[in-house]
């Protein structure tokens, strides 16, 4: 009898050795290739990043808002590497030239057809266990935003016409009804 083949586990080195122009994420040693984002996706990332960053600057906050591509090393190992669409990091000590070492406080992912399962399942579980405080899934196809507040163990759904309060800030909300995503 032939021995069972062991599954291949990948590391961050495998991510860095991808061909030029190829992007992927690594979760628990498994590689997930990333498709090129659509124009609508990039407009959403830009609009949301701008609003969050403007709020932080107005309040003279010290945290950083970083859009993708930006490396986040969730665990203290070389088996998990993600590139959230938007990462908000309070503790600047987590930031290095390579990316964020540890969990951002707030992550926003914009769902695309190729990332649906990843954003709603794998990343939800990974972010919830890694120390992310708040995770928003913005789904353009459904015109819905799902907000997971891991600190309060709550989840709420909103429409693209709603104002959504950020749980990690006392007085900040995003009015999705006033954002043009076209």
Query: Can you give the pLDDT at residue 177?
Result: 86
pLDDT at 26 over 90: yes
Distance (Å, rounded) from C-alpha 40 to C-alpha 49? 14
End-to-end CA distance of the chain: 59
Q: Residue 39 to residues 32, 108, 149: CA-CA distances in angstroms?
A: 21, 17, 28
Q: Is 41 helix (H, G, I), strand (E, B) or coil?
A: helix
Residue 78's nearest CA partner among 14, 171, 4, 130 is 14
For residues 26 and 79, the answer to whether their CB atoms sit within 8 Å is yes
**pLDDT tens profile 28-52:** 999 999 998 999 999 999 999 999 9
User: What pTM was computed for the model?
Assistant: 0.92
Q: Is 50 helix (H, G, I), strand (E, B) or coil?
A: helix
**pLDDT tens profile 156-179:** 999 999 999 998 888 999 999 888
In the predicted model, what is the mean pLDDT of residues 14-32?
A: 92
């Amino acid at each position: 009898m032939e021995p069972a083949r062991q599954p291949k586990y990948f590391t961050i080195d495998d991510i860095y050795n991808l061909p030029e122009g190829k992007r992927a994420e690594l979760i628990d040693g498994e590689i997930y290739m990333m498709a090129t984002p659509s124009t609508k996706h990039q407009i959403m990332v830009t609009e949301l990043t701008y609003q969050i960053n403007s709020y932080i600057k107005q309040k003279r906050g010290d945290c950083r808002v970083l859009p993708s591509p930006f490396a986040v090393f969730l665990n203290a190992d070389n088996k998990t590497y993600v590139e959230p669409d938007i990462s908000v990091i309070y503790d600047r000590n987590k930031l290095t030239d390579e990316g964020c070492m540890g969990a951002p406080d707030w992550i926003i992912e914009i769902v695309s057809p190729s990332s649906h399962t990843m954003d709603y399942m794998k990343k939800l579980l990974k972010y919830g266990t890694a120390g992310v405080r708040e995770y928003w899934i913005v789904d353009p196809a459904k015109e819905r935003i799902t907000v997971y507040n891991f600190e309060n163990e709550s989840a709420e759904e909103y429409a693209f016409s709603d104002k959504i309060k950020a749980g990690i800030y006392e007085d900040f909300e995003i009015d999705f009804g006033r954002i043009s995503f076209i």
